[in-house]
């Protein structure tokens, strides 16, 4: 997150909610946090989710209605929960996920080919259910991207979000 702040602020207003119990997260905790954090956003918003946060964001967007317009969704190393992915009923994603997402003109998936935490096959499952998404196959085994993800920053900066409302 620090790298994103360095690369994007002050041009972008970055919101980075933290789950209260990161060692034992539940979907209910995430949903409550996202309800609180996202309800105050207006205008065009870019949404970024990493790992479990990415899959929770996709689930949330497919199940809730939001009053803001998402100009972009960026999922980084997100696990797929459900058929052919990982099993946890509360995090399970719809097999027809794209039919339930709000209209988002720019969806990107970033995943390392040899991710040591979430297998690359999970990114392929997202691509299968969100066929309009751009899948970026990254070299190496990165999952955390401690040194940043320059391609993500480039895509954020190239997004056609309006000049007066830039929230990430």
Does the residue 36 lie in any domain? Answer: no
- Residue 134's domain is classified under what CATH number? 3.40.50.1820
The answer to whether position 84 is within a domain reads yes
Would you say residue 165 lies in a domain?
A: no
pTM of the model: 0.90
Along the 168 residues of the chain, how does pLDDT read in single tens digits? Answer: 788 989 998 888 888 888 888 889 999 999 999 999 888 787 779 999 999 999 999 999 999 987 788 899 999 999 999 989 999 999 999 999 999 999 999 999 999 999 999 999 999 999 999 999 999 999 999 999 988 999 999 999 998 554 434 444
Q: How many domains does the chain have?
A: 1
Upper half-sphere CA count for residue 143 (Cβ side, 13 Å): 13
Element spanning 100, H or E: helix 97-100
pLDDT at 65: 84
Query: For residue 110, what are the β-bridge partners?
Result: 76, 136
pLDDT at residue number 41: 83
Whether residue 106 is contained in a domain is answered as: yes
pLDDT of residue 66: 78
Residue 129 falls inside a structural domain: yes
Residue 76 inside a domain? The answer is yes
pLDDT at 92: 96
Task: Give me 24's structure tokens.
Answer: 């034992």
- pLDDT attached to residue 160: 55
Domain extent, residue 63, equals 2-15+43-158
Angle at CA of residue 74, ends 71 and 77, nearest 5°? 170
Residue 127 falls within a domain, yes or no? yes
Instruction: Note whether residue 32 is domain-resident.
Output: no
């Amino acid at each position: 997150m620090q790298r994103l702040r360095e690369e994007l602020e002050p041009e972008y207003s970055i919101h980075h909610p933290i789950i209260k119990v990161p060692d034992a997260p539940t979907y209910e905790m995430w949903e409550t946090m996202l309800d609180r954090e996202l309800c105050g956003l207006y205008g065009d918003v870019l949404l970024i989710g990493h790992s479990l946060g990415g899959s929770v964001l996709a689930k949330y967007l497919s199940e809730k209605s939001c009053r803001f317009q998402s100009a972009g969704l960026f999922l980084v190393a997100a696990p797929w929960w459900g058929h052919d992915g990982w099993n946890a009923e509360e995090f399970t994603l719809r097999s027809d996920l794209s039919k339930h997402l709000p209209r988002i003109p720019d969806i990107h998936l970033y995943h390392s080919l040899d991710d040591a935490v979430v297998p690359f096959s999970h990114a392929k499952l997202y691509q299968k259910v969100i066929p309009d998404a751009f899948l970026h196959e990254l070299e190496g085994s990165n999952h955390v991207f401690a040194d940043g993800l320059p391609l993500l920053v480039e895509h954020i900066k190239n997004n056609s979000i309006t000049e007066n409302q830039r929230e990430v």
